[in-house]
Amino acid sequence: MGVMATLQPILTVARAREKHWVGDAFLVSTVFSPNQLDPQILSPFLLMDHAAPKYFPPATKARGVGEHPHRGFETVTFAYAGEVAHRDSHGGGGIIGPGDVQWMTAGSGVVHEEFQSERFTAEGGTFEMVQLWVNLPARLKMTSPRYQGLEGQRFPRIPFGHGVEGRLIAGDLQSLQGPALTHTPITLFDVDFEAASTAQFELAAGTTTLLFVLRGSVRTQRAQIAQQGDLVVLDRASRGSVELEGETGARVLVLNGEPLEEPVFAHGPFVMNTRAEIVEAIHDYQRGLMGTLAPTS
């Protein structure tokens, strides 16, 4: 592949954060959040947690996060190892395993739960997940909830060159189309380096691009060496291409989206545009307007 003339500059690099538990199944590092980086720089992305590979022994009781509400955004869960079972108050649900992705639009409000699957609980094993929060524009904050369970075999493979391949989850890249349905222009894909090699690609000008190193070491934009757990934020004010030079076994998650350029008011499980909308969300949840989960048998 020929060398591209201009590379998009790097705006900032965020280092790995200390780990903390979410429920009793997800030992995560928060890669970014509105409290760590300017939400306008991240837009349309809000928050991302990485549960790095961890072994869980067999158990008799499922580990996870019990029922809780969301409104105003979407959660995207990438399964790299292990299995997660999801169910929500609008009938969405399913199990995702290695290579699968779950995309839940909370919209006007859902109550949901996430637990390690029955099979994984009984057998144990290595568990690795990423959960991304994607903001919704003001006009779609109260859209109807939606659940997408996307099997890994549905993702087109992106040929970046010898020894390096991607899988396209959402958006358009190299004349391919990812299967995930999005409410705003978003492109999400992995880049896997089966051998030490270089991947080059073009993304839409003026969009947000975040590069998260899931594994190994990667030189980004011929300049910054990024290690596992590092987030590289590119400068969307400058037009250019993206270049990743990875060592054997490296993996990078690429997040790209059109910024919303709207106020972000986040409080716990709700993300709206104003404080008044957050208060309304809390009251609606307390009144049961986001639905309830049926008891399990």
- Determine, yes or no, domain membership for 291: no
Which pLDDT does position 293 carry in this prediction? 86
Q: Which pairs from 81-84 meet CB under 8 Å and 24+ separation?
A: 81/53, 81/125, 81/126, 81/127, 81/128, 82/56, 82/116, 82/120, 82/125, 82/126, 82/127, 82/128, 82/129, 83/116, 83/117, 83/119, 83/120, 84/114, 84/115, 84/116, 84/117, 84/129
- Determine, yes or no, domain membership for 265: no
- Determine, yes or no, domain membership for 97: yes
- The pTM of the full predicted model, rounded to 2 decimals, is 0.95
- Determine, yes or no, domain membership for 285: no
Which pLDDT does position 17 carry in this prediction? 82
Distance CA 147, CA 143 (A): 13
- Determine, yes or no, domain membership for 273: no
CATH number, domain containing residue 182: 2.60.120.10
- Determine, yes or no, domain membership for 1: no
Q: Which residues of the chain have pLDDT under 70?
A: 1-5, 296-297
Enclosing domain of residue 127 = 10-257
- Determine, yes or no, domain membership for 205: yes
Total domains in the chain come to 1
Residues 6+ apart with CB under 8 A from 246: 164, 191, 193, 196, 197, 198, 199, 216, 217, 218, 219, 252
Count how many residues are written for the chain.
297
Which pLDDT does position 127 carry in this prediction? 98
- Determine, yes or no, domain membership for 229: yes
